[in-house]
Chains A and B, each alone.
Chain A
Amino acid sequence: DSGVTQTPKHLITATGQRVTLRCSPRSGDLSVYWYQQSLDQGLQFLIQYYNGEERAKGNILERFSAQQFPDLHSELNLSSLELGDSALYFCASSVAGLGNEKLFFGSGTQLSVL
């Protein structure tokens, strides 16, 4: 158990809909990351937060947004969903959000857009 909790584990929805994925980081970790893993793709970095502030942004679509709350949990909002958004979405956390830190990953949310 990594200590990172992601909910829900599975999500099935239709095109055009909006969903929210939730992540609770490991106790004591201030930084949260979101990654997307599509079929035959590696882990694509979406966005990183540190103590409530956005720190780094990757290939995140404008239809996607995220935030980190004062209690350090984070939510990833995906709107106007398309079939291609079907993927495994991972949240990870680390203590200080530095590039030499190991990340602790949750078990992911499997999103299926039908």
Chain B
Amino acid sequence: DQQVKQNSPSLSVQEGRISILNCDYTNSMFDYFLWYKKYPAEGPTFLISISSIKDKNEDGRFTVFLNKSAKHLSLHIVPSQPGDSAVYFCAASEFITGANSKLTFGKGITLSVRP
């Protein structure tokens, strides 16, 4: 059972435009969410995170939005750059409850930014 779902396997956007990567989750106990970026032949690297007590977190060109009622989060990249082309993983954990410290990852979205 996939508790973190990234239903769109790929996304292609023009350089300078906004990239919106979506993620849905089914486990209502998840209270901490992270995005990781992965380049070929490398391990994933942390990008940005958000706690369930917030609905938005911003870091430079990257903003993550959380809609708890819809169990949905999205990552916005503005403006998109060719170097952003990578696989983006959404991940979630049950941090506050402490019941489960593991991160559950989605399958990833391949973002291609066209020059």
Q: Which residues of A contact B (CB under 8 A)?
A: 2, 4, 33, 35, 40-45, 48, 55-56, 58, 90, 92, 97-100, 102-108
Q: Which of A33, A55, A102, A104 has the most CB of B within 10 A?
A: A102
The count of A-to-B residue pairs whose CB atoms sit within 8 angstroms is: 69
Contacts of B101 in A (CB 8 A): 48, 55-56, 97-99
Closest 9 CB pairs of A and B: A105-B43, A99-B93, A99-B95, A42-B107, A102-B46, A43-B105, A100-B95, A99-B101, A56-B102
Q: B101 — nearest CB in chain A belongs to which residue?
A: A99
- CB distance A42 to B4 under 8 Å? yes
Interface size class of B (residues with CB under 8 A): 20 to 34
Q: Which residues of B contact A (CB under 8 A)?
A: 2, 4, 6, 32, 34, 36, 41-46, 49, 51, 89, 91, 93-95, 98, 100-108
Closest Cβ–Cβ distance, residue B89 to chain A (whole Å): 6
- CB distance A48 to B105 under 8 Å? no
The contact sample of 30 A-B pairs, CB cut-off 8 A, is A2-B43, A2-B45, A41-B107, A42-B4, A42-B6, A42-B106, A44-B105, A45-B104, A48-B102, A55-B101, A58-B102, A97-B101, A98-B95, A98-B101, A99-B93, A99-B95, A99-B100, A99-B103, A100-B49, A100-B51, A100-B93, A100-B95, A102-B46, A103-B36, A103-B44, A105-B36, A105-B44, A105-B45, A106-B43, A107-B41
Chain B, interface SS category: strand
Contacts of A41 in B (CB 8 A): 107
A91 to B62, CA, bound (A): 26
